[in-house]
DNA sequence: CCATAAATACGGCAAACGTCGTACAATGTG
DNA sequence: CACATTGTACGACGTTTGCCGTATTTATGG
């Protein structure tokens, strides 16, 4: 299975904004941004089903916000920070700074 | 009719991101940002129906992105730049800079 | 081989979205 | 007054969204 990721130049602003416009996905991105290491899909402390989680991760990946790579049975997620910064300078930082002022992050067990 | 605008502190990030995630609305915001004066709803050169236009302006207004005030039969739109900057510093600038690199603005007759 | 763990795929469902058409209200202008 | 201008209200439509449950895939461990 391909794990389709858009190339850097294919990342589109409306799609990124839409991907970030959901609280669950925003929480995922915040968690990924906090400690810049790869995380399994199940380690984000979100209170939704695994199927729903899969859906959100796909939206983020297809928008170009996150990178997913397979390792064993797990799927490791990381933020595409460089690509996003290159394409939309300052956007990610502004979003992260903005939601840092809002509700706290979900209890995400490491 | 009330013309409901959220107060500055009521503006929510996911809602703003969602409002900006539509190409038509993004075009509206870009146009408003280019020359910081008030514009009528019909003056944005968008190729959608008036009803659709009304819908998009309402989404932007209720998200706290634009201000609308009535004057005669017209409705004058302006960007809530200060409120957005106060609440989400750098966000608007990043979005505007990002889409400036993309497709050009619709032909918006003054 | 069997069981467990991590995540997907598929299908379904209610709600929201973007769009439109028609009808309507409010304000000018002849 | 009649008429054009500007925009809303309402209802409709097809699509997408976010969510779930169940079945399935793909490794890892006994």
pLDDT in tens, B28-59: 999 999 988 899 999 999 999 999 999 999 99
Spatial neighbors of A106 by CB under 8 A, at least 6 apart, are: A27, A31, A44, A45, A46, A47
Q: What's residue A109's pLDDT?
A: 43
**DSSP assignment letter at B89:** T
Judged against a pLDDT cut of 50, whether residue A110 lies above it is answered with no
**pLDDT above 90 for A60:** yes
A110 three-state secondary structure: coil
Spatial separation of the C-alpha atoms in residues B42 and B74, rounded to whole Å: 9
What pLDDT, on the 0 to 100 scale, is given for residue A99? Answer: 84
Q: Is the pLDDT confidence value at B83 over 80? A: yes
CB proximity B48 to A under 8 Å = no
Residues with CB under 7 A from strand D: A 18, 21-22, 24, 48-52, 55-56, 59, 72-73; B 1, 40-43, 50-51, 53-54, 57-58, 68, 73-75
Reported pTM: 0.93
Nearest nt by C1' to B43 Cα: D6
Q: Kindly tell me if the per-residue pLDDT of A104 is higher than 50.
A: yes
Residue A46, pLDDT above cutoff 80: yes
Q: Could you give phi then psi for residue B70, rounded to 5 degrees?
A: -90, 140
Chain D footprint positions (protein CB, under 7 Å): 5-11, 17-23, 26-28
> Which residues are registered as beta bridge partners of B70?
B75
Residue B40 CA to residue B101 CA, distance in Å, equals 26
Contact (CB, 8 A) for A36 and A100: no
Q: Which of A71, A28, A30, A36 is nearest to A52 (CA)?
A: A28
The yes-or-no verdict on residue A23 having pLDDT over 80 is yes
Nucleotide nearest to B71 (CA to C1'): C27
Q: What is the mean pLDDT of chain A?
A: 92
Length in residues, chain A: 110
* pLDDT interval class at A1 (50, 70, 90): low
Q: How far is the CA of A51 from the C1' of C7 (A)?
A: 8
- State, as a whole number of angstroms, the distance between the CA of B53 and the C1' of D12: 17
Give the mean model confidence (pLDDT) for residues A68-97: 96
Cβ pair A86, B97 in contact under 8 A: no
Alpha helices of A21-64 — where are they, by DSSP H? 23-34, 50-63
Q: Do A90 and B99 touch (CB under 8 A)?
A: no
Check whether B92 has a pLDDT greater than 90. Answer: yes
pLDDT band at A101 (very low <50, low <70, confident <90, very high): low
Using CB atoms, which residue from B15, B87, B94 is nearest to A90? B94
Angle between helices B13-20 and A13-20 (to 10 degrees): 150
d(CA B45, CA B43): 6
Question: What mean pLDDT do residues B72-95 have?
Answer: 97
């Amino acid at each position: 299975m391909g794990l389709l990721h858009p190339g850097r130049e294919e990342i589109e602003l409306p799609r990124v904004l839409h991907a970030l416009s959901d609280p669950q996905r925003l929480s995922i991105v915040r968690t990924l941004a906090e400690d810049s290491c790869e995380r399994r899909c199940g380690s984000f402390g979100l209170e939704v089903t695994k199927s729903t989680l899969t859906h959100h991760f796909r939206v983020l990946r297809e928008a170009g916000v996150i990178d997913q790579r397979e390792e064993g049975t797990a799927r490791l997620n990381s933020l595409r920070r460089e690509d996003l910064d290159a394409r939309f300078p300052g956007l990610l930082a502004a979003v992260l700074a903005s939601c840092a002022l809002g509700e706290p992050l979900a209890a995400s067990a490491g």
